[in-house]
Structure 1
Amino acid sequence: MKRRNLLRASVVGAGALAFTGSLWEGAFAAPAQNATGPYGPLQPADANGIQLPAGFSSRVVARSGQTVPGTSYTWHAAPDGGACFADGSGWIYVSNAEIGSRGGGASAIRFNSAGTATSAYRILGGTDRNCAGGATPWNTWLSCEEVDTGRVWETYPFSGSSGTAVVRPAMGRFNHEAAACDPVRRAIYLTEDKSDGCFYRFLPTTWGDLSSGTLQVFRAGTATSGSFTWANVPDPDGSPTATRNQVAGAKRFNGGEGCHYASDTVWFTTKGDNRVWQVNLAAGTYELAYDDNLVNPGPAPLTGVDNITGSGSGDLYVAEDGGNMEICLITPDDKISVFLRIGGQSSSEITGPAFTPAGDRLYFSSQRGTSGSSSGGITYCVTGPFRT
């Protein structure tokens, strides 16, 4: 399918993408197929048990239940969705804690320009199963609760205090997963982690103020491609009727997970069918960016699709929940390859991939590490010659 050219983007500010104006020559024409990755084959595992292409290296940034090196803060259990924010010459990495019974929340680590942690602190506490979320252009982190009555909490990574977090009920109460901001249409896209879940957008009354606005649901047919429309959700509170059941014709997605916006396109993953969807917002159409059943010849490299992020070059990085514990890379010319693989952690999942503002470091976590328990989470940083 012929697609519009993507604008080349560079990672800036709150983990968002700003457009440089030069055209990215590739075009996404789904679905992606197996190919040799742009960085070449994986090398033998390093000291952290991670296989990476030549020229890349990994290090451990934090471990659940242990003090973050260089700080006095104890890192949270079950690290999940994350994002990076520019902070002077350094940056801040934010990570959710996917703990139930109101033991969840989010934490942040502040790094200097050399990538050394200088402080760490909690920015949200007392919430329930904070899975993924999304960064805003105004430098806040939207932390999403993955329970049936889950809410979105707007947190403030630069404040260093969980007391400043604010709940945003206008964004709906449902099994929230991830969020992605679209500054062009002044919309925030939201995924729902249910086997019959929906895809939503929230239109704030005032861009930058999430206290009020309109929640809408994606409407389309049952096919894997076509046109779509948006319809208002009558009762965002989702009680007594769940938000996904309020609008006739709302399209169902099998377990919505990660979500990423860039250049008039929003991508999101669905774990129940191992798919990556792409929505062309300018054209009003949607299609598949990846489907493990449509990789020919196989085998399919990406299974257990979960969190997703993008680089300045237009590459997508998709983390696996289980599978082979890989982060896979989808290029703008629809090629998919394995970027990294973690060994010895088959009872875990990869979470929270996020690039620094310069695009030269990739942070992510293994939620349960080698122990298979939420108390065994490990947060990593990979450096190397990323395409920017």
Structure 2
Amino acid sequence: MKRRNFLRAAVVGAGVTAFGNTLTSGALAAPAQNGPSPYGPLRPPDANGIALPEGFTSRVVARSRQRVAGYVWHDAPDGGAVFADGTGWIYVSNSEIAPGGGASALRFDANGTITSAYRILADTRRNCAGGAMPWGTWVSCEEVDGGYAYECNPRGPASAAVRRPAMGRFTHEAAAADPVRKAVYQTEDISDGCFYRFLPTTWGDLSSGTLEVLVAGSATSGPFTWAKVPDPDGSPVATRNQVRGAKRFSSGEGLHYANDTAWFTTKGDNRVWQVNLLNNTYELAYDDSLVNPGTPPLTGVDNITGSGSGDLFVAEDGGNMEICIITPDDIVAPFLRISGQSSSEICGPAFTPAGDRLYFSSQRGTTGSSSGGITYEVTGPFRR
């Protein structure tokens, strides 16, 4: 993994929180290894069952099938993002159920008080992850064969959401915008999935454009190119099978972009990939089979986000129900752990614009059922 020299957080476009970094030149290095967390060890679980470092606190902000600000929060909360909203912010969250998935939002004032909650997307299927766009919209992705990406207004209503077929029909997982190259990257959650790039005809308008797929060899690092997907509709030939040499990834999951770099996770092999978009090369940022010595701290890799300090936060689907940190110094360590919820997964980590609050969900909570989802907020001295 190339050493990373990170910049501070920046706000891009219409109030979307984004985090930047630059890559220094140098030889390839080993993926991230076990080490001490910059936040110190985890304390015993708090009243919410969350083990956190010293100085951090948690609270529950929503529960599936329970009212929050008069709105019944959705089942199976999954991928999410935070959008600036005046002096406050909005957290959006997908619902990974079918039928009746979609996405909802929580609006907070400057003090972190929830002022409203509402639906922003309805009547879709297994909305897993997605991505915040620099112009202030949320792209929510269907994790089903022939699934669509939907563009939503975080401020609602659900009727304002628009299907974006030009972004391709496949088992969508996550999306991330690259304002430099005017591209939106996408992961595919299937065992022989691909990594895609969508180039809108007009930046800021996802209604038309060109869908491309990453082409590379079978190695875990090296150069890559992009090739056009002839038929983004994916019928009768799936998008991943239309281009010879398209690189296969074992069930793509979360995706995070920061200046000239995309990181994404693959749950089939517990890896975090790093794509250098300046040099058109890729490599491993983390691989649980290469952690030495000791037991890999991060397994069941899923959603991923970044902080202003350049730390990556990776949520686990299973594992120890942790969010782990990968630092710019290539150290991986637990940041938090949820106890008593071994039949769940952690989803939707996202920071506020100020970088002092982290939101995420336990998709099935203590019940192990989609109706038991819990959405949390963690506040504390995050590195910025």
TM interval, short-chain normalised = over 0.9
Whole-Å separation in 2 of the counterparts to 1:8 and 1:24: 14
- Per the alignment, in what secondary structure is the counterpart of residue 293 of structure 1? helix
Return the offset for 1:7. Answer: 3.5
Aligned residue in 1 for 2:194: 198
TM-score of the pair, normalised by structure 1: 0.96
Return the offset for 1:6. Answer: 3.8
Letter in 1 for 2:223: S
1:93 aligns with 2:91: yes
The structure 2 residue matched to 1:117, chosen from 114, 117, 120, is 114
Give the 5 Å matches for 1:225-304. Answer: 225-304=221-300
Letter in 2 for 1:34: N
1:47 aligns with 2:47: yes
Letter in 2 for 1:111: F
Whole-Å separation in 2 of the counterparts to 1:5 and 1:325: 29
Aligned residue in 1 for 2:364: 368
Whole-Å separation in 2 of the counterparts to 1:4 and 1:114: 33
Q: Aligned residue pairs: how many?
A: 381
- Per the alignment, in what secondary structure is the counterpart of residue 218 of structure 1? strand
- Per the alignment, in what secondary structure is the counterpart of residue 148 of structure 1? coil
Aligned residue in 1 for 2:19: 17
Letter in 1 for 2:89: W
Whole-Å separation in 2 of the counterparts to 1:293 and 1:76: 36
1:2–1:52 CA distance, 2 compared to 1 (3 A): closer
1:175 aligns with 2:139: no
Aligned residue in 1 for 2:158: 162
Whole-Å separation in 1 of the counterparts to 2:373 and 2:44: 23
Aligned residue in 2 for 1:342: 338
Give per-residue Cα distances to partners, 1:129-169, cap 9 Å, x unaligned. Answer: 000000000000000000011000000012x2100000000
Give per-residue Cα distances to partners, 1:215-256, cap 9 Å, x unaligned. Answer: 000000000000000000000000000000000000000000
Aligned residue in 1 for 2:203: 207
Q: Mind listing any 5+ residue stretches in structure 1 that lack a counterpart?
A: none
Whole-Å separation in 1 of the counterparts to 2:210 and 2:302: 27
Return the offset for 1:298. Answer: 1.8
Whole-Å separation in 2 of the counterparts to 1:17 and 1:265: 11
Whole-Å separation in 2 of the counterparts to 1:16 and 1:330: 17
Letter in 1 for 2:174: A
Aligned residue in 2 for 1:313: 309
Q: Mind listing any 5+ residue stretches in structure 2 that lack a counterpart?
A: none
Q: Given that residues 2 and 24 in structure 2 are in contact (C-alpha distance below 8 angstroms), is that contact kept between their aligned partners in structure 1?
A: no
- Per the alignment, in what secondary structure is the counterpart of residue 306 of structure 1? strand
Whole-Å separation in 2 of the counterparts to 1:323 and 1:237: 35
Return the offset for 1:24. Answer: 8.7
Return the offset for 1:14. Answer: 1.4
Return the offset for 1:181. Answer: 0.5
Whole-Å separation in 2 of the counterparts to 1:51 and 1:231: 45
Whole-Å separation in 2 of the counterparts to 1:225 and 1:97: 34
Aligned residue in 2 for 1:76: 74
- Per the alignment, in what secondary structure is the counterpart of residue 299 of structure 1? coil
Return the offset for 1:16. Answer: 2.4
Give per-residue Cα distances to partners, 1:321-375, cap 9 Å, x unaligned. Answer: 0010000000011000000000000000000000000000000000000000000
- Per the alignment, in what secondary structure is the counterpart of residue 16 of structure 2? coil
Letter in 1 for 2:370: S
Q: Given that residues 29 and 333 in structure 1 are in contact (C-alpha distance below 8 angstroms), is that contact kept between their aligned partners in structure 2?
A: no
Aligned residue in 2 for 1:131: 128
Letter in 1 for 2:18: A
Return the offset for 1:4. Answer: 6.4
Aligned residue in 2 for 1:105: 102
Q: Given that residues 6 and 309 in structure 2 are in contact (C-alpha distance below 8 angstroms), is that contact kept between their aligned partners in structure 1?
A: no
Give per-residue Cα distances to partners, 1:274-300, cap 9 Å, x unaligned. Answer: 000000000111000000000000200
